[in-house]
A and B are shown apart, each in its own frame.
Chain A
Amino acid sequence: MKHTLSVLVENKPGALMRVTSMFARRGFNIDSLAVGPTERHDVSRITLRVDCAHTSLEQIEKQMHKLVNVLRVQELAPGESVERELALLKVAAPASKRAELISLAEAFGARVADLGPDSIVFELTGTPEEIDSFEELVRPHGLQELGRTGRLGLGRAVRGSKSRPQHALI
């Protein structure tokens, strides 16, 4: 079972390393990880996709809470959160295939970020699943390079949103 965690950490040297080191030491698996600034200059957000096949989500969250730089740990439950990912895909595109590829990209809302004589770089933002699909579709055309940011997420804006904080409320 995989879960997405949104973790707010103090923007201090080593904060990310403390989180990833704890995952490594305890044998917790990270599927993807995205780090960046937030609305507060002194706080960063780490979005983690974790595999809970061997460890309970609760244990992972509690271990994270023990880190001094960690301010908040929140599970982004499916349906109660918005998750997006950005991908850049360099696809082989001889002149004969260009039109087909570009119309495929349009169907997914992907932009052409760069265009060369033999290839196109597409830029796609979407749910990780949408990116998976697009990747699969362009792969037969010759996927030369791929870069994905890892998923980023926030709790929904709608009222009644239930992406709940997961501290140990015992």
Chain B
Amino acid sequence: MTGADAILRCLEAEEVEVMFGLPGGAILPLYDAMARGTTVRHVLARHEQGAGHMAQGYARASGRVGVCIATSGPGATNLVTPIADAWMDSTPLVAITGQVRSTLIGTDAFQECDITGITIPIVKHSWLVQDVRELPEILKAAFHVARTGRCGPVLVDVPRDVQEAELDFVFPDSVSLPGWKPPRRGHPRQITAAAQAVAAAERPILYVGGGVLNAHATDELLALAEHGRLPVVTTLMAKGAFPESHELHAGWPGMHGPKWSNWALNKADLVVAVGARFDDRVTGKLSAFAPGATVVHLDVDAAEISKIRHADVPVVGPLRPVLAELTKALEPVAGRTGPWLRQIAEWREEYPLRYEEGEPLKPQRVLETLQELTAGRDDVVWTTGVGQHQMWAMQYLQCDVPRSFITSGGLGTMGYGIPAAVGAKAARPDATVVCVDGDGCFQMTQQELATAVLEELPIVVVIVNNGYLGMVRQWQDMFFEERFSQIHLTQGLPDYAMLARAYGGVGFTVESDDELREALREALASGRTCVVDARVDPREHCFPMIPAGAAAVDTIEFDASERVVA
């Protein structure tokens, strides 16, 4: 068989259900092999960036490895953003790119680019396949590296002649990667020390990051929190990893987290970081972050230990067994965390999320309405773009099940939402997939609506349309003395509802509470690809906010008396 056929046999052997891609010259043999037949579904994206984010959305919704495919040169460079995004958010991703023929490499051939070189800083590992006989082992290794240890992206670059060359195909049973040894379990002594620290603490808190989802350890997390009566804050990446309706859930920490959540994290005497990396958007000013806390850090990636914040008790290992063993080792003192939990509940009462209701339609109202209409459902998957709408989605949507909130955290990639939703729908055909988008984000990846319609992967896109690059507007307003610069996109251009129809979907334009509710109800029930263009008050800022580099105690809250008039 040819190398191209071998790639498909490898994907089948890895039990890949779906791959996302776009053909081109250097990857033609692989697409020709697809035409000969494969059990792997191919979803044809309209842009390679879309294919990459779809594979990410698929991976995040399913907990499996996402696969995306592109041709050489511009096809490959268009994958750079999704690969970087997967790197920052530890999303398991295998990117397969075509490359010019081996004999042409290095000659500046048509559509040649050194994609393995370009992506070195943003992949766990990459391979340029030089001999077709190496192909099966390389692909097996690629999947292994992507999903073991700390998850992340890998890239396999396959020259066209390698795809065409013949080989005797055997899928290897094992891979030989002498330099890749992710930890298999946490050190028992460290786990005991962690358990003692937790039992001794008066104001402990679990600071949970996306690593818990990658580790499939959400049940173990719940067991630990309940056993120790420990409050839990979940980062943007971990939203849904712990049920948000649970009494122990203490909200979301960080720049736009509620004040009570940030206080809970910052006034704790013990912070147990679980698959979290002390990102600057969570810590704010590092010297003022949880200043009185001892830190226990549980992570599969040893390099995260003490990278940002010194860990007093580090535990390196896969979180699932680590959390289970920690729960077993923990002997909580009955009632010890009671006063602390009551204190957090008081703060929660004292500092609720606030905004001023009224006309024009408030963006927060859009999210509240979405929440009302989907309350209690465990078959809704949310994706978002990046910006104000994303932060409101974090604040107002309640996620009680893992993998129900898929967003670009570390890289902050605008345009992530629509393709990620298409990928999530491929992973969860039974679920209602809703992309909460901004008007700026929408215009970066809107073409994937065609993919959603034609591939029968219907999604609902709700545009929180303020006609501006809203988060930039907010920063210019607050930190650049209201000098607005190059942020006005215009609320009515394009006509998003008409665009939805142009792509074969259903479009709604809403400007009031009533219209909003009706359109959302219809869109959520339609089973078709819908775009709800919600025209909202452009003056609205996302609060609370901890300015970049400030401490949690410096939170700026909503203040109706200081409304900025545009």
Contacts and interface: CB of A to CB of B under 8 A. Distances in A.
A62 B178 CA distance: 16
A65 B177 contact: no
Interface stretch (A67-75, A97-105, A113-121): A67-75
Given A168-B316, A170-B190, A21 B179 contact: no
Interface string B316-350: 10000000000000000000000000000000000
Contact of A69 (B130, B179, B303, B306): B179
A58 B301 CA distance: 13
Contacts, number: 56
A65 B300 CA distance: 13
B120 A17 contact: yes
Nearest to A72: B179
Given A14-B116, A68-B125, A168 B305 contact: yes
Given A18-B120, A21-B120, A69-B179, A170 B303 contact: no
Nearest to A66: B303
B82 interface: no
B489 interface: no
A56 B126 CA distance: 27
B117 interface: yes
Interface string A48-67: 00000000101100110111
Interface string B286-310: 0000000000000001110111000
Contacts of A25: 121
A13 interface: yes
Contact of B302 (A10, A62, A68): A62
A71 B217 CA distance: 29
B303 A62 contact: yes
Nearest to B145: A68
Contacts of B178: 10, 71
A71 B179 contact: yes
Interface in B114-136: 116-117, 120-121, 124-126, 128, 130
B187 interface: yes
A65 B121 contact: no
Contacts of A10: 178-179
Contacts of A69: 125, 179
Contacts of A9: 179
Given A21-B121, A58-B306, A170 B314 contact: yes
A70 B179 contact: yes
B315 interface: yes
B180 interface: yes
Interface string B158-196: 000000000000000000011110000001001000000
A10 B145 CA distance: 16
Interface in A22-67: 22, 25, 56, 58-59, 62-63, 65-67
Interface residues on A, range: 20 to 34
A65 B145 CA distance: 14
A9 B315 CA distance: 27
Best-surrounded residue of B120, B178, B179 (most CB of chain A within 10 A): B179
A169 to B, nearest CB: 8
Contacts of B187: 170
Interface residues of B, number: 26
Describe A's contact surface by its main secondary structure. Answer: mixed
A168 B187 CA distance: 11
Nearest to A14: B116
B120 A14 contact: yes
A68 B177 contact: yes
Nearest to A42: B178
A66 to B, nearest CB: 6
B301 A66 contact: yes
Nearest to A15: B179
A170 B315 CA distance: 7
A13 B303 contact: no
A114 to B, nearest CB: 35
A62 B300 CA distance: 12
A170 B125 contact: no
Given A71-B179, A170-B190, A170-B315, A59 B120 contact: no
Contacts of B302: 62, 65, 168, 170
A71 B180 CA distance: 8
A70 B273 CA distance: 28
A168 B317 CA distance: 11
A65 B180 CA distance: 8
A109 B532 CA distance: 82
Nearest to A63: B303
A21 B316 CA distance: 25
Nearest to A55: B307
A68 B117 contact: no
A21 B76 CA distance: 20
A67 B181 CA distance: 10
A68 B177 CA distance: 7
Given A25-B121, A62-B302, A170-B190, A68 B316 contact: no
A14 B149 CA distance: 22
Contacts of A67: 125, 179
B306 to A, nearest CB: 7
Interface in A85-142: none
B538 to A, nearest CB: 38
Contacts of A66: 124, 149, 301, 303
Contacts of B130: 13
> 5 closest pairs, A vs B, by CB?
A168-B302, A62-B303, A68-B125, A25-B121, A170-B316
8 contacts: A10-B178, A14-B116, A14-B126, A68-B125, A68-B145, A71-B179, A170-B314, A170-B315
Given A14-B126, A14-B128, A21-B120, 6 more contacts: A10-B179, A62-B302, A63-B303, A67-B179, A68-B180, A170-B305
